[in-house]
A and B are shown apart, each in its own frame.
Chain A
């Protein structure tokens, strides 16, 4: 295990709510681990604690088996890519990348060779003499990566690295980051609030909520088997429906889904339904069979259509229908339709999220 964090706690005001509270997790070696959570979940603070930019109130951080909870930031040998890139504006791209090597007092020739290698790695060979102000957002981002990787860090920390970029560049850089990681094999810890990003690029996900770990595991597990209602609602753009247990199954309005084994008759349940796990069908013409919902709004989003469905209970669910399927369906706003839940995650009890 490469990074082991144990019972880390950090308060910014004494006696206040901790920003990071008793957090323990591990990040496997040579893999990308994501710290995922909404803003204010404490993920950036956690990253700063690991980098040594903040000191914890209690708990420990071990990197490659070396205890470094109180090691000064300069000595940790960790590469950090900041959300704002934090490039040195008065230095050229080359000088930026060389900075960490110069503080290590490496011989000039070695520094130049390493800078060339880094420029090649991030595909910016042509731009070594430019200043950061003359680069695009994506290029600056790559310079920040090159600068962090130049010092051959044991660990690479990325704080919302794609947060400031437009969505097309984000997707491109995501793929680029994956191939970069394949080339360097550096243990990487990435902070993001974007669940899609987390699920796509990481081998291990740590979901944080209110300064605590809500769930940690491989991305498939987080997506398919959320451990808490929070994780279920945060990951996957789910709708929440309230209902009760009736004869071993969860009845949520007119929808019926599987309930957990331990469910008792009449118990309150919450069903978390993903937008693509609901199937819509149009009732046969002229039939007066009961429908399950009314189409409130239709939004076409590229390859699929978002259908906002209002249930008789007054609750609304979002359903995503692939474009081709939607065209066959021929539904317009105001129509009454049948809805069938293919899959849902049901939690017992009536929690507020």
Chain B
């Protein structure tokens, strides 16, 4: 009697939850705990010396800063692309739609080489920018460009389905109530896509923090200036300093996790407000 009253209507809860834990444990938690375990082979002083070294701090600042800038850029332009893809019909739409996913498919090293070639001093873009006094390759700007490139699909693909789900009725209702197109966008559409936009932003941001392949070519890897944290980790590994590498990685991981958690909580908060509660619909 007692146990049947507790039984859930949706079947398979125990099995699916168990498998999910097992899967996440094997794929995510186990390797990551290995990483932290390795870090513990360092003494506290050694750990602190490693992660608080000026060169490492500069790399953290660059990695997180450039990732944030790239994610913000993607949030703005990704929303625009998603909007165009959902709202308008135009020749070549399928092509644009397919182009969005390309950064996913392209090996990141290829992307990095391509971008470097374009933006370097005698590249197609680089030579003109150089004439105007801008240097992109081998500067933090180049890093942001590379990170923007690899992060674009995240925003477009998270926002697109949500925009598609918004009824034209809602916009029309706003218009009958006197709202100008700008007011319809800022007061009706934007708040509706905000949670999805936040998800896309977070994904693009998280992806950019750890990105390595596309950045190392365009950044020039000058210590204190254009050296990203993942590169430092690789450098340590190449020197067989596994503990040092995991220390740097562990701090990155902790900071990223804290930020992702914060954004997730923020997203839940914005979403919860207008979620349909079961049983009231």
Contacts and interface: CB of A to CB of B under 8 A. Distances in A.
A80 B274 contact: no
Contacts of A73: 172, 175-176
B167 A84 contact: yes
A79 B167 contact: no
A134 interface: yes
B12 interface: no
A104 interface: yes
A100 B169 contact: no
Interface residues of A, number: 32
A136 interface: yes
B177 A90 contact: no
B180 interface: yes
B174 interface: yes
Given A82-B169, A86-B167, A99-B177, A136 B280 contact: yes
Contact of B187 (A74, A99, A148): A99
A133 B179 contact: no
A128 B48 CA distance: 55
A86 B192 contact: no
A79 B273 contact: no
B178 A74 contact: yes
Contacts of B122: none
Contact of B274 (A76, A82, A90, A103): A90
A151 interface: yes
A104 B177 CA distance: 9
A175 to B, nearest CB: 24
A131 interface: yes
B191 A90 contact: yes
A148 B172 CA distance: 12
Given A86-B170, A103-B183, A133-B280, A51 B274 contact: no
Candidate in B175, B191, B276 with the most chain A CB atoms within 10 angstroms: B175
B240 to A, nearest CB: 54
Contacts, number: 80
B178 A104 contact: yes
Interface string A108-152: 000000000000000000000001111111000000000110010
Contacts of A88: 170, 173-174, 187-188
A78 interface: yes
B281 interface: yes
A325 B69 CA distance: 81
Contact of A133 (B176, B191, B192, B281): B281
A133 B177 contact: no
B175 A74 contact: yes
B274 A86 contact: no
A11 to B, nearest CB: 19
B172 A86 contact: yes
B238 interface: no
Interface string B143-175: 000000000000000000000000101101111
Contacts of B276: 133-134
B176 A89 contact: no
B258 to A, nearest CB: 27
A89 B187 CA distance: 11
A131 B174 CA distance: 17
B2 interface: no
A84 B169 contact: yes
A1 interface: no
Candidate in B176, B179, B276 with the most chain A CB atoms within 10 angstroms: B176
A79 B174 CA distance: 10
B186 to A, nearest CB: 12
B176 A79 contact: yes
B7 interface: no
Contacts of B177: 99-100, 103, 147-148, 151
Contacts of B167: 84, 86
A318 B178 CA distance: 50
Contact of B275 (A76, A82, A84, A133): A133
A80 B273 contact: no
A74 B172 CA distance: 10
A53 interface: yes
B178 A86 contact: no
Contacts of B183: 103
Interface string B123-147: 0000000000000000000000000
Would you list the 10 A-B pairs with minimal beta carbon distance, nearest first? A100-B177, A133-B276, A86-B169, A103-B178, A86-B173, A90-B191, A80-B176, A89-B274, A131-B274, A82-B169
Interface of B: 167, 169-170, 172-180, 183, 187-188, 191-192, 194, 273-277, 280-281
Interface of A: 51-53, 73-74, 76, 78-80, 82-84, 86-91, 99-100, 103-104, 131-137, 147-148, 151
29 contacts: A51-B176, A53-B172, A53-B175, A73-B176, A74-B175, A74-B178, A74-B179, A83-B169, A84-B167, A86-B169, A88-B174, A89-B192, A90-B191, A90-B192, A90-B273, A90-B274, A91-B191, A91-B274, A100-B177, A100-B178, A103-B178, A103-B183, A104-B178, A131-B274, A133-B277, A134-B277, A134-B280, A147-B177, A148-B177
Given A82-B169, A103-B183, A134-B276, 10 more contacts: A52-B176, A53-B176, A82-B172, A86-B170, A90-B191, A90-B273, A103-B179, A133-B274, A133-B280, A134-B280
